Structure 1
Amino acid sequence: MSEFQHPRPFDAAEDLAASHNGPILSTSFLSIDNLFMNFLEEHRVPGLVWGLVDGGGLIHHGAYGVSESASTHGLSKDSVFRIASMTKSFTALCVLLLRDQHKLSLDDPIGDWITELRFDPQLDQIETPITIRHLLSMSSGLVEDDPWADRQLALSPEVFQAMLSNGIGLDLRPSTAFEYSNLGYAMLGLIATRAAGVSLADMAAENIFSPLAMASTTWDLQTMDSDRLVAGHSLCDNQWVLEPSLADGAFGPMGGLGSTIEDLARWVTLHLNAWSEQTPRASLAIRPSTLREMADIHRVMAHPRMTDPDVTAQGYGYGLMIAHHRRLGRIVGHSGGLPGFGSRMEWLPDYGVGLVALANRTYAPLSDVVRRGLEYLVEQGFVTTPTREPSQDLQRIYLAVNASYQDPENYQSIRDVALATYLLDRDDDRRPPNFTTLRDHYGRLLSVGPIIATGKLRGSWTLDCEHGSFTVHAMLGPTLPHKLQFLQIVKDSRSEVG
């Protein structure tokens, strides 16, 4: 053991690239660095590495502290940490790739693949068979098992299979609620191995690690240069205690991977680009739609610790956690915690940016500082949502509405682009919006803003007039040719008239 000391000074990292969000992002690096440095000292962490990521890769990183408490060996973007439950996202993608290859179905009962599996005979008859989908989405009914499962990483396949044949109990009825299960992801690893005919490690290497050039990501840490391996620590009575590094085993699919900031940046970039309409599809055997499927909420989490009033929904996808936030939009990510390590990766698909952080202290609570970093980038305007090119259909509506405002007596321009249902029930004089009334209130049109498209069939724009401004919200119908279904006028609070 060694006495706790503050780590050595910050080892400044180079800025690797300009973000697609613009060069202004570089001015935010110091503030992000300060967030993480303050975290390290507040939480007494031996070492910490973090990375800022966009659709082009790692754009900035920081490394602070030491790899091992009794040494002066520093950290870098190439330092290999155990990433714990962040592993689940890789296991989930392997299972989904097997689904895409028609080698399994997510609705297969797990007993079809794990024939030796037995359940507690005292359980009531399970009316809903547990499926692969249930395991992926943490809705199998298996009990939460972090304190037990974290020590099972090195369990041999033979002992694991004997454990399953000896009997497993359930906490909840399958498909009724979220409950986090590491055992479920160990089972997924076994299912994937049997469906693929090769080990999960070999499948991940061929389909994910090698194509993405993630050369430092592995379940077998013995293959890595020992100088790059980071030691895990716990703090006991103000003394650092080194945690033993557990070997790869049957529970590796739930939390056994080792990786680096640089490799994980490539992983986050892959997921960010799956949501980008501007980014061409990479030459990988991974469908962008499969990556987006991972980041959908498949099981809602009624989480008592969810206290952020801006989070409107939270749930588990496939190997990823998802939240919907009033200001940040969709948030995707996962935490990791093992004896000796804590980690967090999180990205904002709407803004095309993400943060990853790795620490070498048991269960280092990185979620809050990572979220604060992303909030800072958005709130300060360092990142913005990409502009969607408006469809030709939206542009037709745009021109027609603007023409009707300029000449309220000529309603024909709206009639030409509207669905019949829009024109029913009320005559022109009583149908909102009444362009004559609008023109009387707001006066002569001065300028028209661009269309802000939220989809191919939805958009809004602002008209600036003599006496104020208002915003037009338009929604087109589903049938071809697309015509106007709904139109709403929202006044600018700064306008002179209501």
Structure 2
Amino acid sequence: MSWTSGLALTLLLAAPLSAFAQDAPPKTLAQITPEIDALFARYQADAHIPGMAYGVVKDGKLAYVKGVGVQNLDDKSAVTADSRFRIASMTKAFTALAILKLRDDGKLHLDDLAEDHVPEMKGWVYPTTDSPRIRVRDLLHHVGGLVTDDPWGDRQQILPQDDFTRMIAAGVPFSRAPQSAFEYSNYGYALLGRIIANASGMDYADYVRQAILTPLGMTSSGFDVTKTPKAHYARGYRWENERWSPEPEMIDGAFNAMGGMQVSANDYAKWVAFLLSAWPPRDDADTGPVKRATVREMVQGLNFMSVANRIGTSGASACKQAAAYAMGWRVAQDCDLGLTLAHGGGYPGYGSHVMLMPDHGVGVFALSNRTYAGPSAPAWDAAVAMDKAGLLTGRAQPVTPAVADAFAAARAAYAAGNLAPLDGKLAMNFLMDRSAANWAAELARLRAEVGDCPIAEPLAPTGALSAAFRLICDRGKLDGMLLLAPTSPATVQALRFRVVTP
């Protein structure tokens, strides 16, 4: 099927309907923070959470942050933006980026066999004789064939490194052949932590601190909770039998790469802002601890796509998401929010969630101190509230000279009723797909229905070589799309017009 047919053409033709929609004047973030506060307050009460910290990162900074409840039930100390919470599986994004940085630095390749970096894996017995051996990238994407191991994996946090070495050498029972399906594995990310240690020549926690945390100024973040100042320590609790009880305080151990990090809201916002700064691609100086292109690579979904409801109260009525697991992130396309990156964190004593909207430079996160409390719903509901308030403004895609020139010629062709203005600008397929005579007939039909179209709304580029457009005509409107071919100079490979239904 050609690019100009099927779903791709449908998406391009549909673009002007949203691109040119006239919304109500946007509100400010301050105007909707009472709504956001109410979402989290309701969740905190319903989920029996002692304390929470949540924030909104927008335009490269922590635009709103709030602490509610207490970080310690004994002294009733209040949660603040400096309270430190374990973030559980939200650690996986740091692990994934650390692997990619080592790749950038030439210390490993994503297609390396994991056993080349963890020799104890070489004796593993695979489930079938045709099973591929596990690569580094398979562990990143949870397609290594290892069994889902929540909650077992959470309790391995304190496992000493020597015990982990013996565990690896003993082998694993596989859930399925590697690379055959997605199955979430904490064990797999613990193996990535061992790969990071072996490839970097230092402990996993030390490498993450040196390569990511310190350059980002995340001085309150780390893995050794025993060194947390009491004044900032959010103690973890379980809600059971209608009361809270403290969870064991787990020390840093061999499974830290899958869920051991501790952060404050102020610190975590720096991480979120850094990630969001990778969009859009641009020519600015690349000054981060990891390249922008590498951050964007981290959120490429592999395959094994799923169709899911949006998280939160709007999920039942919102259009479905297409989702996949990338590297430490669940990646989904949302018809209102655009590209979304999300991950939860569940842990004995803690629950957390983060969701990013790179198209808009906005992220929402929440940290809590109750076992497996997953504040995903209020985080996503806050994002939807921001969208409805007009606060999620898209980053403008520039109109390239090639697209502007081709569009001007296309408008001239419509006005002339023939393709003469496009002479020398058409790709070799254009007149093979529809003859000049049929194009003249089509343009005549459109002009008879809507008349002249003297006004063009601003183009809505969908890339450097494509755009959706809207023309304002005497008796209606025309939506259309323009697609250039990969020739030098660029030429028009597809042009479509559609009368807008009143």
TM-score under structure 2 length normalisation: 0.89
1:7 corresponds in structure 2 to none
1:210 paired residue among 206, 210, 214: 214
Alignment check: 8 A CA contact 2:27 2:389 kept: no
1:450 paired residue among 446, 458, 466: 458
1:481 corresponds in structure 2 to 489
Distance change (3 Å), C-alpha of 1:280 and 1:154: same
2:387 corresponds in structure 1 to 378
| Secondary structure of the structure 2 residue equivalent to 1:384 | coil
The separation in 1 between residues aligned to 2:258 and 2:144, in whole angstroms, is 15
1:88 corresponds in structure 2 to 92
Tell me, yes or no, if structure 1 residue 367 matches structure 2 residue 371.
Answer: no
How much does 1:277 deviate? 4.1
Tell me, yes or no, if structure 1 residue 283 matches structure 2 residue 287.
Answer: yes
2:183 corresponds in structure 1 to 179
The separation in 2 between residues aligned to 1:129 and 1:52, in whole angstroms, is 41
Q: Partner amino acid for 2:302?
A: H
1:492 paired residue among 488, 494, 500: 500
The separation in 2 between residues aligned to 1:266 and 1:111, in whole angstroms, is 34
Q: Partner amino acid for 2:203?
A: S
Tell me, yes or no, if structure 1 residue 318 matches structure 2 residue 322.
Answer: no
| RMSD between aligned residues | 2.2
Cα deviation code 1:113-146 (max 9, x no counterpart) = 2112365659444631111111111000111111
Matches within 5 A, 1:112-151: 112-117=116-121, 123-125=127-129, 127-151=131-155
How much does 1:439 deviate? 2.2
1:44 corresponds in structure 2 to 48
Distance change (3 Å), C-alpha of 1:423 and 1:106: same
How much does 1:337 deviate? 0.5
1:14 corresponds in structure 2 to none
The separation in 2 between residues aligned to 1:128 and 1:196, in whole angstroms, is 26
Q: Partner amino acid for 1:372?
A: D
| Secondary structure of the structure 1 residue equivalent to 2:71 | coil
Alignment check: 8 A CA contact 1:118 1:168 kept: no
Distance change (3 Å), C-alpha of 1:164 and 1:433: farther
Q: Partner amino acid for 1:89?
A: A
1:167 corresponds in structure 2 to 171
The separation in 1 between residues aligned to 2:427 and 2:95, in whole angstroms, is 48
The separation in 2 between residues aligned to 1:278 and 1:91, in whole angstroms, is 26
The separation in 1 between residues aligned to 2:244 and 2:296, in whole angstroms, is 41
The separation in 2 between residues aligned to 1:289 and 1:197, in whole angstroms, is 25
Tell me, yes or no, if structure 1 residue 424 matches structure 2 residue 428.
Answer: no
Alignment check: 8 A CA contact 2:347 2:371 kept: yes
| Secondary structure of the structure 2 residue equivalent to 1:71 | coil
1:6 corresponds in structure 2 to none
The separation in 2 between residues aligned to 1:381 and 1:352, in whole angstroms, is 14
2:445 corresponds in structure 1 to 437
The separation in 1 between residues aligned to 2:448 and 2:125, in whole angstroms, is 77
| Secondary structure of the structure 2 residue equivalent to 1:315 | strand
How much does 1:301 deviate? 5.2
2:351 corresponds in structure 1 to 342
Cα deviation code 1:291-341 (max 9, x no counterpart) = 111111114255788876623421111111111222222110211010110
Alignment check: 8 A CA contact 1:136 1:185 kept: yes
The separation in 1 between residues aligned to 2:165 and 2:377, in whole angstroms, is 38
1:17 corresponds in structure 2 to none
How much does 1:432 deviate? 7.2
Q: Partner amino acid for 2:383?
A: L
Taking every aligned residue pair, what percent have the same amino acid on both sides? 32
The separation in 2 between residues aligned to 1:72 and 1:38, in whole angstroms, is 20
The separation in 1 between residues aligned to 2:396 and 2:59, in whole angstroms, is 15
2:194 paired residue among 187, 190, 196: 190
Distance change (3 Å), C-alpha of 1:454 and 1:425: closer
The separation in 2 between residues aligned to 1:140 and 1:432, in whole angstroms, is 57
Tell me, yes or no, if structure 1 residue 72 matches structure 2 residue 76.
Answer: yes
Distance change (3 Å), C-alpha of 1:121 and 1:138: closer
The separation in 2 between residues aligned to 1:274 and 1:161, in whole angstroms, is 36
How much does 1:451 deviate? 0.8
| Secondary structure of the structure 2 residue equivalent to 1:419 | coil
Gaps of 5+ in 2: 1-24
How many residues are matched? 473
| Secondary structure of the structure 2 residue equivalent to 1:144 | coil
1:9 corresponds in structure 2 to none
The separation in 1 between residues aligned to 2:125 and 2:400, in whole angstroms, is 59
2:66 corresponds in structure 1 to 62
- The range that moved more, 263-272 or 239-248, is 263-272
Q: Partner amino acid for 1:417?
A: K
| Secondary structure of the structure 2 residue equivalent to 1:174 | coil
| Secondary structure of the structure 2 residue equivalent to 1:293 | helix
| Secondary structure of the structure 1 residue equivalent to 2:64 | strand
2:365 paired residue among 356, 374, 377: 356
Cα deviation code 1:363-396 (max 9, x no counterpart) = 1121222111112222332212111110000100
The separation in 2 between residues aligned to 1:304 and 1:62, in whole angstroms, is 30
Q: Partner amino acid for 1:377?
A: M
2:421 corresponds in structure 1 to 413
Distance change (3 Å), C-alpha of 1:430 and 1:169: same
Q: Which has the higher contact order (CA 8 A, sep 6+)?
A: 2
The separation in 2 between residues aligned to 1:303 and 1:102, in whole angstroms, is 36
How much does 1:469 deviate? 0.8
Distance change (3 Å), C-alpha of 1:399 and 1:304: closer
Tell me, yes or no, if structure 1 residue 331 matches structure 2 residue 375.
Answer: no
Alignment check: 8 A CA contact 1:50 1:355 kept: yes
